[in-house]
Chain A
Amino acid sequence: AQSVTQLGSHVSVSEGALVLLRCNYSSSVPPYLFWYVQYPNQGLQLLLKYTTGATLVKGINGFEAEFKKSETSFHLTKPSAHMSDAAEYFCALNTGGFKTIFGAGTRLFVKA
């Protein structure tokens, strides 16, 4: 069975600091992996996704994630946090079917 685990329900960083949000997955077949962001009172929107090929994926707003098969991880990073990055972040997995499995979410706080 597939699953997604996000480590840390809350992460707090200072403005300008590195952002690291952790995601581990379990899948018996090669997965598609996603990071979605949800700003307050809005729907989810895609930040980036990994399908095949290059394991370092760049997304919008300066975010990137690296697919590491050996570690079954897909951590999200951004070199320098901005106040506008404060939001809920969801890691998600799909194996080519209709069902996408979402992690529990990580709330990112950015301190001035």
Chain B
Amino acid sequence: DTAVSQTPKYLVTQMGNDKSIKCEQNLGHDTMYWYKQDSKKFLKIMFSYNNKELIINETVPNRFSPKSPDKAHLNLHINSLELGDSAVYFCASSTPGQSETQYFGPGTRLLVL
């Protein structure tokens, strides 16, 4: 059973395009996150939703828009893709109050040409 899943696993696209990444968790967690990992492996939080409500919105261009239709899903839509958006995007989930352990998805490798 996959705990946190993401689709697609790989995404290759042209500059200026719009793309979406989907995330689903079956752990019953209340909180979901999007992280960006750059080529140097640095992990940066982008967004977090708790019970479908946005609670963390780091300094991220407004071309990035998260959407949480329900507690188990958190999607990321990116408009007007730029070369610098190339990275690995990880979804994660956790339940606050349980030592904040995070469970990560396998990642979506985005390459913008």
Chain A interface residues toward B at CB < 8 A: 32, 34, 36, 38, 41-46, 49, 51, 88, 90, 94, 96-100, 102, 104-105, 107
B: interface residue count bin: 20 to 34
B48 at the interface (CB under 8 A from A): yes
Q: How far is the CB of B108 from chain A (nearest CB, A)?
A: 10
Q: Which of B40, B45, B107 contacts A43 (CB 8 A)?
A: B107
Asked whether A43 lies within 8 Å of B56 as measured between CB atoms, the reply is: no
Which B residues touch A88, using CB under 8 A?
Answer: 41
Which A residues touch B43, using CB under 8 A?
Answer: 44, 90, 102, 105
Identify the 5 closest CB pairs spanning chains A and B, nearest first.
A43-B104, A94-B100, A44-B104, A105-B41, A102-B43
Which B residues touch A51, using CB under 8 A?
Answer: 99
Which A residues touch B101, using CB under 8 A?
Answer: 34, 46, 49
Which A residues touch B42, using CB under 8 A?
Answer: 104-105
Asked whether A99 lies within 8 Å of B56 as measured between CB atoms, the reply is: yes
The residue in B42, B48, B56, B99 that gathers the most chain A C-beta atoms within 10 A of its C-beta is: B99
Asked whether B48 lies within 8 Å of A98 as measured between CB atoms, the reply is: yes
Asked whether A98 lies within 8 Å of B41 as measured between CB atoms, the reply is: no
B28 at the interface (CB under 8 A from A): no
Asked whether A107 lies within 8 Å of B41 as measured between CB atoms, the reply is: yes
Asked whether A96 lies within 8 Å of B100 as measured between CB atoms, the reply is: yes
Which A residues touch B55, using CB under 8 A?
Answer: 98
Q: How far is the CB of A28 from chain B (nearest CB, A)?
A: 17
Q: Mark interface residues in B45-79 (1 if CB within 8 Å of A CB, else 0).
A: 10010100001100000000000000000000000
